A and B are shown apart, each in its own frame.
Chain A
Amino acid sequence: MSQGKYALTINRKPVSVTAEADKPLLWVLREELKMPGTKFGCGQGLCGACTVLLDGQAVRSCQTPVSAAAGHKITTIEGATALPQGAKLVEMWQEIDVPQCGYCQAGQILSATALLMANPKPSDEEIDAGMNGNLCRCATYLRIRRAIRKAAGMADVTGDAA
């Protein structure tokens, strides 16, 4: 695949990269732009670890060729707190200590950001549906639900009451 020059907007900053047209945005971020917050989990769009926002929509950066990302506004975990939903989610993620190993959490936070941007007060079922593409091998799911509810300003449900 021949190399091309692509103009991207990442976390509100314009950047230019030279890469093969089919190189996934994930590897452009990690290798070319030295932004390792976006994680490689499966390379097949099945785990959500590589989730970023493309014009506010959650996409799998491992399935998004750099050529398709050119010209769009991309938000990665490094810039998530510039969005009000992202900032609130990160705050809640820290407050209730969502991560265990932490590897999936960048993708979780960005999927949650997209969810709250589209649906500021999601129901429990809508939270599960919105987050179902993001695997957490440590299974921190109860806290992911709780952090999203808290970030959305909804009643706190700890999920661990007897």
Chain B
Amino acid sequence: MSAPTSINTMDRRGFMAASLVGAGALAFEARIVLADTPVAQVPLNAFIRIGADNKVTIGAKNPEIGQGIRTMLPMLVAEELDLGWDQVVIEPTLANDKIYGVQSAGGSNSTPNNWLPMRQVGAAARAMILAAAAKEWGVDAASLTTAAGKVSHAASGRNAPYASFARGAAAEVAPDLAKVALKDPSRFTIIGQSKVGVDTAAITHGKPLFGIDVDMPGLIHGAIIKAPAHGATIATHDAGAALKRKGVLAVVPVNSNSVAPGKFDTLVVVADSWWTAKNAREAVKVTWDDAAQVGFSTEAYDKGAAAALAAGPQISHAKNGDVAKALAGAAKTITADYSYPFLAHGTLEPQNCTGLWQDGKLEIWAPSQAPNNGRNDTAAMMDMRGEDITIHQTRIGGGFGRRLINDYMVMVAQVAKALPGKPVKILFDRTDDLRNDYYRPAGWHRFTAGLDAKGDLVAFKDHFVSFGKDGKPIRAAEMSPFEFPVNVLADSEIGITYLPTNLATGWLRAPTSNAIAFVYQSFMDEVALAAGIDLPELMRRTLGTPRDLAVVPGRPILNSGRARAVIEGVCKMANWQGGKLPNSAKGEKRGRGFGFYFSHRGYFAEVVDITLTDATTVRVDKVWACGDIGSQIINPINARHQVQGAVNEGLGQGMVEQKIEQIKGVVQAESFGDFPLIRIEQVPREIAVQFLKTDYPPTGLGEPSLPPVIPALANAIFAATGKRLRDLPLKLA
């Protein structure tokens, strides 16, 4: 990152224009500063600049965490602008939601939210170029055509590159975006074609791209000493010995945005080198106010959950009909308890952020999934105006939801203000990163299901225990009152008990779904077994006729027909004949499992084949995934990769003993030794992916393919061994 020289002119102009007119990017306010535009590049709007060489620079507005959005959103613009992909140059924009609208990598929302707006931006720019060309050539704009960045007039045989009309186009009145004509999908030349990631070449050559790579003259470095028990604050500290070390510049108390205003929970040791700062931490003496935190532990949560399940729910979350009566009248009932642990994100790039405080203003370089939220948090902490904070978006070395929280930005702002005029980067070490995460909350479920004499599911009850405060879930600890099959049964209910915790919780890729899919689809596999059928058949019967089912008020609906289609699709792909598989040639036990889940508007059904290489070791041989995310796969190569990565991540949550444990308020994980990630030897040789294209708008893919693989794995282990594993991580021994 050659910051600060990487600040590009498009962003500077766009920012200035927006603060003058207060309008959004789609209002094309960037045109008003055209007077100082260099001849070499003409901005048509906040997203598009046309160069004299007919290269077109497109601004990529959303944070890139490996989901491919920095490539995909510009594809939408380029398609409607009718460019050749080889003309396109992609630049990340500043984080500025006043210009660019929502800029967030979360909830698989970028595709549904931008599918039309980004195309409209491209189409509007094309219309302005056509209008300028029509004036220059004295012809009707309707008689002009475009392709690969050129305008043609068939009647006269004239054609010319966009660049020759750029200045005229920039002077045109921007058309109404809501009315601008978009291409029919049959005419797409970029959407639907595989495009290699915009940064792939730079990554393979080791170019600076990531937050950790930000460098500039005079950069200094901070290492953190954070309260071991989350929520504790600094009681006393003595930095005298550390400050005597060569290269150490300052020790700055900061608030990580987790404790009350005016309190501090972190010391940042600043030095001329991060290595020096990290080592100097040992010379700082600090004591903590942690009396309110030390009572929390994994052991206490397990006891609390057991007591809660025995006592029954505190809160009625969903109640349909009379489940007690229906269970009493059932021909067969099935009961089981399930659980899953707290999880860290373990992004490979540790949390970091760079800041520079100068003249009462703040400039930030952040690997953040929600940089504009970070601006708000930072402005509040620093008691400054959001518009006095400029945020550059770096490429991000893994997000998975961790970087939706902006603690690092709030912290670096305080350090930068303490050392004005000096650019400073803070960087967590691996233990800091694992111990100061915003964890996927643990949870427990006690299920009871009732089958009638025909084997149909007629009653369903879940007592869910997770973490909350004042009768409400803490972040990412909620569940839907419409969870399938609760939403389709006349007699069903969900009750909840919330336990207290000092841990900060947060969203992990496919939040809530990654856990709920495991417990619900594993338990449904037990119900299917009791009904004498397999899970795909139970799902088909319980989903019933194609119709729209409630999920959450104001959230996407689940179409049971789309669900059934992916279930049938994956069964066809894998030639599903039930979970039993013959032993391997070596006599090893094998098994096959199924899982379905709907999340983030996407439908995925997956089948997992496993072999037991010894009594306790599972090898995953192959996974099949069938998904429906609407009418268009925008970048097919990236779509396959997203599914394969999500499948492997889900297998990791099942297989590799990922869990976060706590003693006396303190998270115990230190590194990838005790918080393992899945490795190459543990992933399957094959992950087959198929998309069913349906007549629905395209939706996101970062998340929905992850959840179903976890129950599919657990169900495969049951099929192979007869052992029902009801707790994550799955363990046979």
Residues of A within 8 A of B (CB): 20, 23-24, 27, 31, 34-44, 46-47, 49, 76-78, 80-81, 90, 93-95, 97-106, 109, 124, 127-129, 131-132, 134-145, 157, 159-162
Q: Are B652 and A97 in contact (CB under 8 A)?
A: no
Q: Are A97 and B638 in contact (CB under 8 A)?
A: yes
Q: Are B430 and A41 in contact (CB under 8 A)?
A: yes
The interface stretch among B29-37, B159-167, B437-445, B679-687 is: B679-687
Could you tell me the distance between the alpha carbons of A47 and B215 in the complex, rounded to whole angstroms? 24
- Most chain A CB within 10 A, of B67, B203, B209, is at B203
B573 adjacent to chain A (CB < 8 Å) = yes
Q: Are B204 and A99 in contact (CB under 8 A)?
A: yes
**In the complex with contacts A36-B212, A160-B688, A101-B396 CB distance below 8 A:** yes
Could you tell me the distance between the alpha carbons of A145 and B677 in the complex, rounded to whole angstroms? 18
List A contacts of B207 (CB < 8 A): 37
Q: Distance in Å from the Cβ of A138 to the closest Cβ of chain B?
A: 5
Residues of B within 8 A of A (CB): 64-68, 196-197, 199-201, 203-210, 212-213, 215, 221, 273-275, 346-350, 395-400, 427, 429-430, 573, 624, 637-638, 640-642, 644-645, 647-649, 652, 671-673, 677-681, 683-690
Q: Are B209 and A102 in contact (CB under 8 A)?
A: yes
Q: Are A141 and B686 in contact (CB under 8 A)?
A: no
- Most chain A CB within 10 A, of B65, B427, B671, is at B671
Q: Are A129 and B348 in contact (CB under 8 A)?
A: no
Q: Distance in Å from the Cβ of B551 to the closest Cβ of chain A?
A: 28
Q: Are A106 and B206 in contact (CB under 8 A)?
A: yes
Q: Which of A44, A95, A142, A157 is close to B673, meaning CB atoms less than 8 Å apart?
A: A44
Q: Which of B201, B350, B641, B678 is close to A94, meaning CB atoms less than 8 Å apart?
A: B201
Q: Distance in Å from the Cβ of A102 to the closest Cβ of chain B?
A: 4
Q: Which of A128, A140, A143 is close to B681, meaning CB atoms less than 8 Å apart?
A: A128
Q: Are B66 and A128 in contact (CB under 8 A)?
A: no
Q: Are B398 and A81 in contact (CB under 8 A)?
A: no
Q: Are A38 and B688 in contact (CB under 8 A)?
A: no
List B contacts of A132 (CB < 8 A): 679-681
List A contacts of B68 (CB < 8 A): 100
List B contacts of A38 (CB < 8 A): 206
**In the complex with contacts A78-B205, A134-B680, A141-B648, A39-B397 CB distance below 8 A:** yes
Could you tell me the distance between the alpha carbons of A157 and B392 in the complex, rounded to whole angstroms? 40
Q: Are A43 and B212 in contact (CB under 8 A)?
A: no
Q: Are A36 and B208 in contact (CB under 8 A)?
A: yes
Q: Are B200 and A94 in contact (CB under 8 A)?
A: yes
* 6 A-B pairs with least C-beta separation: A37-B206, A101-B66, A103-B397, A139-B648, A77-B206, A100-B66
A34: nearest residue on chain B (CB-CB)?
A: B215
Q: Distance in Å from the Cβ of A33 to the closest Cβ of chain B?
A: 12
Could you tell me the distance between the alpha carbons of A24 and B687 in the complex, rounded to whole angstroms? 38
Q: Which of B210, B274, B275, B348 is close to A137, meaning CB atoms less than 8 Å apart?
A: B348
List A contacts of B215 (CB < 8 A): 34, 36
Q: Which of A31, A49, A140, A157 is close to B645, meaning CB atoms less than 8 Å apart?
A: A140
Q: Are A101 and B430 in contact (CB under 8 A)?
A: no
Q: Are A93 and B348 in contact (CB under 8 A)?
A: no
Q: Are B273 and A102 in contact (CB under 8 A)?
A: no
Could you tell me the distance between the alpha carbons of A100 and B349 in the complex, rounded to whole angstroms? 13
List B contacts of A124 (CB < 8 A): 685
Q: Are B348 and A47 in contact (CB under 8 A)?
A: yes
Q: Distance in Å from the Cβ of A161 to the closest Cβ of chain B?
A: 6
Could you tell me the distance between the alpha carbons of A123 and B68 in the complex, rounded to whole angstroms? 31
Q: Which of A43, A46, A76, A139 is close to B652, meaning CB atoms less than 8 Å apart?
A: A139
Q: Are A138 and B212 in contact (CB under 8 A)?
A: no
**In the complex with contacts A36-B213, A42-B671, A142-B687, A102-B638 CB distance below 8 A:** no
Q: Which of B208, B399, B683, B690 is close to A162, meaning CB atoms less than 8 Å apart?
A: B690
Q: Which of A23, A46, A127, A144 is close to B275, meaning CB atoms less than 8 Å apart?
A: A23
List B contacts of A143 (CB < 8 A): 641, 644
Q: Are B348 and A99 in contact (CB under 8 A)?
A: no
Q: Are B677 and A137 in contact (CB under 8 A)?
A: yes
Given A41-B349, A106-B204, 12 more contacts at CB 8 Å? Answer: A20-B275, A27-B274, A37-B205, A94-B204, A97-B196, A101-B397, A102-B210, A103-B210, A127-B680, A136-B348, A139-B678, A142-B683
10 contacts between A and B (CB under 8 A): A36-B206, A36-B213, A37-B205, A39-B348, A46-B672, A101-B399, A135-B672, A139-B644, A160-B640, A162-B573
Q: Are A41 and B204 in contact (CB under 8 A)?
A: no
List A contacts of B688 (CB < 8 A): 160-162
Q: Distance in Å from the Cβ of A58 to the closest Cβ of chain B?
A: 14
Q: Distance in Å from the Cβ of A97 to the closest Cβ of chain B?
A: 4
Could you tell me the distance between the alpha carbons of A10 and B212 in the complex, rounded to whole angstroms? 22
Q: Are B197 and A97 in contact (CB under 8 A)?
A: yes
- Most chain A CB within 10 A, of B275, B649, B652, B672, is at B275
Q: Which of A35, A76, A103 is close to B348, meaning CB atoms less than 8 Å apart?
A: A103
List A contacts of B221 (CB < 8 A): 31
**In the complex with contacts A27-B275, A31-B275, A103-B348, A97-B680 CB distance below 8 A:** no
Q: Distance in Å from the Cβ of A123 to the closest Cβ of chain B?
A: 12
List A contacts of B399 (CB < 8 A): 101
List A contacts of B573 (CB < 8 A): 162
Q: Are B204 and A97 in contact (CB under 8 A)?
A: no
Q: Distance in Å from the Cβ of B244 to the closest Cβ of chain A?
A: 15
Q: Distance in Å from the Cβ of B6 to the closest Cβ of chain A?
A: 14
**In the complex with contacts A132-B681, A139-B678, A161-B686, A43-B429 CB distance below 8 A:** yes
**In the complex with contacts A97-B637, A139-B644, A160-B688, A40-B65 CB distance below 8 A:** no
Q: Are A102 and B645 in contact (CB under 8 A)?
A: no
List A contacts of B350 (CB < 8 A): 40-41
Could you tell me the distance between the alpha carbons of A20 and B689 in the complex, rounded to whole angstroms? 51
Q: Which of B208, B429, B645, B689 is close to A160, meaning CB atoms less than 8 Å apart?
A: B689
Could you tell me the distance between the alpha carbons of A26 and B273 in the complex, rounded to whole angstroms? 12
**In the complex with contacts A37-B207, A41-B348, A90-B205, A99-B66 CB distance below 8 A:** yes
Could you tell me the distance between the alpha carbons of A100 and B467 in the complex, rounded to whole angstroms? 33
Q: Which of A31, A103, A104, A128 is close to B273, meaning CB atoms less than 8 Å apart?
A: A31
A144: nearest residue on chain B (CB-CB)?
A: B680
Could you tell me the distance between the alpha carbons of A124 and B350 in the complex, rounded to whole angstroms? 31
Could you tell me the distance between the alpha carbons of A39 and B210 in the complex, rounded to whole angstroms? 10
Q: Are A47 and B680 in contact (CB under 8 A)?
A: no
Could you tell me the distance between the alpha carbons of A124 and B681 in the complex, rounded to whole angstroms? 10
Q: Are B644 and A142 in contact (CB under 8 A)?
A: yes
Q: Are A39 and B683 in contact (CB under 8 A)?
A: no
Q: Which of A43, A81, A162 is close to B624, meaning CB atoms less than 8 Å apart?
A: A162
**In the complex with contacts A36-B212, A162-B688, A102-B66 CB distance below 8 A:** yes
List A contacts of B275 (CB < 8 A): 20, 23-24, 27, 31
Q: Are B197 and A99 in contact (CB under 8 A)?
A: yes
List A contacts of B680 (CB < 8 A): 127-128, 131-132, 134, 136, 141, 144-145
Q: Distance in Å from the Cβ of B215 to the closest Cβ of chain A?
A: 7
B688: nearest residue on chain A (CB-CB)?
A: A162
List B contacts of A134 (CB < 8 A): 680
- Most chain B CB within 10 A, of A90, A94, A159, A162, is at A162
List A contacts of B395 (CB < 8 A): 101-102
Q: Are B430 and A138 in contact (CB under 8 A)?
A: no
Q: Distance in Å from the Cβ of A159 to the closest Cβ of chain B?
A: 5
